[in-house]
Structure 1
Amino acid sequence: MQNRFDNKKQKILELLGTPDELYQDLSPKGSVDEAIRPLIADINRISGLVTTSSCSGRVSIFCEGRQKDIEDETVPSTVSGGKGQGSWLYVSHLPITPQVLNDPNSDIFSVFGLQRGNGKGPVASFSFIHLKFEPMILHILTSSLEDAQRAITAALTSGFRESGSVSLSPGKAGDINPMVAVRSTGYSFDSIIGYQNESGDNIAMVDEECLRTLVGIANARFDINTDRISRFRTALLDQYDESRRNSQRASKPDWEDPEARRRRKREEGLARQRLMQAQSAVTEEALSDGTPEQRP
């Protein structure tokens, strides 16, 4: 008989196994990001873990809801899972292509659905437009406290410093299935770059040089994000693969098992002690019979 965790994992894996043309989840994108699929597959192959939601990291142009709509709770939000109203003008889970970023002839404003500013600034009712970079976030359901601890340890040592877990209390059957969030906000950023006027026009408040600089920063953050994802994958697999750890340790000539090192240090200490005792005995014998002590 399957327990609660196994039942949930089976249902999640069945959903993830749906053909791409039929797959649909609750995220705004509606599917698993390509950049994170190998990590998701590795995690879900571990018996005590299963992923429940993920984002590989993204750069986006986000328009806030109008203040009067935010205050009116009857107005539905256009952002799934978000607070207040708002909409995305542009979303990418990959770095902005060099052709867009470096080509002086490309219109980077139109790529993001913006019009060049007129220098007048926002008037009357408006909504600010943000350029955001958000790192990977990953939620992992675990089958036990031990599994949760392994996942958190891998996350923290890989740079996802705000990672943690919830649902630590036992369920009705007495089982504990913590949910681990792997995340880091330290290298995310959010910059206001424009506004939406009453007519619905998206007007830039920054010049082209500033906008290209901000996009370049977002691309650099993608590199950091990719590196941390790779480190997390390695660290997590190491937590569950003893043979993998032993192989890696054996490949390092200076690595030594802690217990073996303690034994070696103790034996070396005893050998030095015996040597000193032997040298002391020889010296005392030489002095007693008047023979001069030999020195090297």
Structure 2
Amino acid sequence: MSQQLHARFAAHKTQILAEILSPGPDASPKGSIDLHILPLINRLNEHRKIITTSSCSGRISVFLEGSKKLAGEGSRAIGEAPEPDEKAEFPSGNAGMGGKGGGKWLFVSHDPVDCNDMTPREVCQMLLGGHVLGLGSMNNQVLTEPVLSEAGTGVSSSTRLVHMKFEPMILHIQTLDLQTARIILTAALSAGFRESGIMNPGLTEHSFPMIAIRCNGLVVDSIIGVMNVTPSGIKMIVDENYLKTMMLVSSLRFEDNKRRIDAFSGKIEQVLFNQGQAPSKESKGERKIRKREEGLRRQRILRAAQAHGESQL
């Protein structure tokens, strides 16, 4: 492999690490790297043939789909409220206003939520707040069977669905060469991330492989509500006991997800760092790049720790 390709990958890696440390939140709903996955990311980035590009340690979320647009109708769907009114109606808190297709994150947690001692109504309030018709502070209407039946009618092309999801870890890794990508892919598959794969198998000598580490077998995705143009607001199509059950199931999925992350971390340590895969000798230029990357990682760890009120050497 040419020195030019090594230098190009090193420059690419330095640029990505610098972007991670740039001011302001990133494009994820959380706005920063999850602390649960930070040790794994830092360890992977210590290898000169590897750079992590995007990640999520796993999360449970409630997501309102964006407005559906019809061909030829311009930028606003039929009956869609103006964007400022919609933002005022569905504030997103720390999750960020954006979402795929212009949707809204109503609830996001990257940690299990202990709701054993919460009532189903309290769980519903936590997940959806005052966005649901019948759950506002002025209306404690119980979700009876007729209410649920009515909520499920009138679904059309303009109906926006509310999803409750559990999504396990997803991690994208770019490597200098295909051999390193295959080593990582084998480790991921053996750790239980069975839907992992190399995303750009048709490689040229000038491209870098990209591996997606994922496990769709742990995904939970359920439609729990709908939002039509009128009346304004979300109507639930499941009862509150169902929402609490979903939260309890998601807590178990978090445990399984963590076991797979730990297994993957252990296998990465074994195949990339304990069997001679990491370079034992480096040039002055490579050492300079490595030292800079280590400094960037230390800054990132310190910033993440400070944001969570922790102290770290």
Do they superpose with TM above 0.5?
A: yes
Counterpart of 2:209, as a letter, is P
SS at 1:112 equivalent: helix
Note closer, same or farther for the CA distance 1:106–1:38 as it changes in structure 2 (3 Å cut).
farther
State the match for 2:191 in structure 1: 158
Q: Is 1:112 the equivalent of 2:127?
A: yes
Alpha-carbon distance in structure 1 between the residues aligned to 2:276 and 2:203:
32
State the match for 1:204 in structure 2: 236
Alpha-carbon distance in structure 2 between the residues aligned to 1:235 and 1:73:
50
Note closer, same or farther for the CA distance 1:176–1:239 as it changes in structure 2 (3 Å cut).
farther
Q: Which runs of 5+ in 1 are unaligned?
A: 246-296
Of residues 6, 9, 17 in structure 1, which corresponds to 2:10? Answer: 6
State the match for 1:48 in structure 2: 49
Q: Deviations over 1:131-175 (max 9, x none)?
A: 11111110000001111011101100000001111334455xx34
State the match for 2:31 in structure 1: 30
Contact 1:145–1:176 (CA under 8 A) maintained in structure 2? no
Q: Is 1:143 the equivalent of 2:176?
A: yes
Alpha-carbon distance in structure 2 between the residues aligned to 1:202 and 1:101:
25
State the match for 1:89 in structure 2: 106
Contact 1:168–1:177 (CA under 8 A) maintained in structure 2? no
Alpha-carbon distance in structure 2 between the residues aligned to 1:56 and 1:222:
9
Note closer, same or farther for the CA distance 1:93–1:105 as it changes in structure 2 (3 Å cut).
closer
Contact 2:120–2:240 (CA under 8 A) maintained in structure 1? no
Counterpart of 2:211, as a letter, is V
Note closer, same or farther for the CA distance 1:47–1:70 as it changes in structure 2 (3 Å cut).
farther
Alpha-carbon distance in structure 1 between the residues aligned to 2:237 and 2:121:
19
Q: Is 1:15 the equivalent of 2:6?
A: no
Of residues 125, 133, 155 in structure 1, which corresponds to 2:166? Answer: 133
Contact 1:169–1:176 (CA under 8 A) maintained in structure 2? no
SS at 1:54 equivalent: strand
Of residues 177, 200, 209 in structure 2, which corresponds to 1:178? Answer: 209
Alpha-carbon distance in structure 1 between the residues aligned to 2:181 and 2:275:
21
Contact 1:25–1:31 (CA under 8 A) maintained in structure 2? yes
Counterpart of 2:170, as a letter, is I
Contact 2:166–2:250 (CA under 8 A) maintained in structure 1? yes
Q: Is 1:102 the equivalent of 2:106?
A: no
Tell me by how many angstroms 1:192 deviates: 1.4
Percentage of pairs with the same residue: 35
SS at 1:214 equivalent: helix
SS at 2:216 equivalent: coil
State the match for 2:151 in structure 1: 121
Contact 1:79–1:86 (CA under 8 A) maintained in structure 2? yes
Alpha-carbon distance in structure 2 between the residues aligned to 1:9 and 1:244:
21
State the match for 1:189 in structure 2: 220
Alpha-carbon distance in structure 2 between the residues aligned to 1:49 and 1:164:
16
Contact 2:61–2:108 (CA under 8 A) maintained in structure 1? yes
TM-score for the superposition, normalised by structure 1: 0.71
Contact 1:57–1:137 (CA under 8 A) maintained in structure 2? yes
Alpha-carbon distance in structure 1 between the residues aligned to 2:258 and 2:171:
14
State the match for 1:57 in structure 2: 58
State the match for 1:280 in structure 2: none
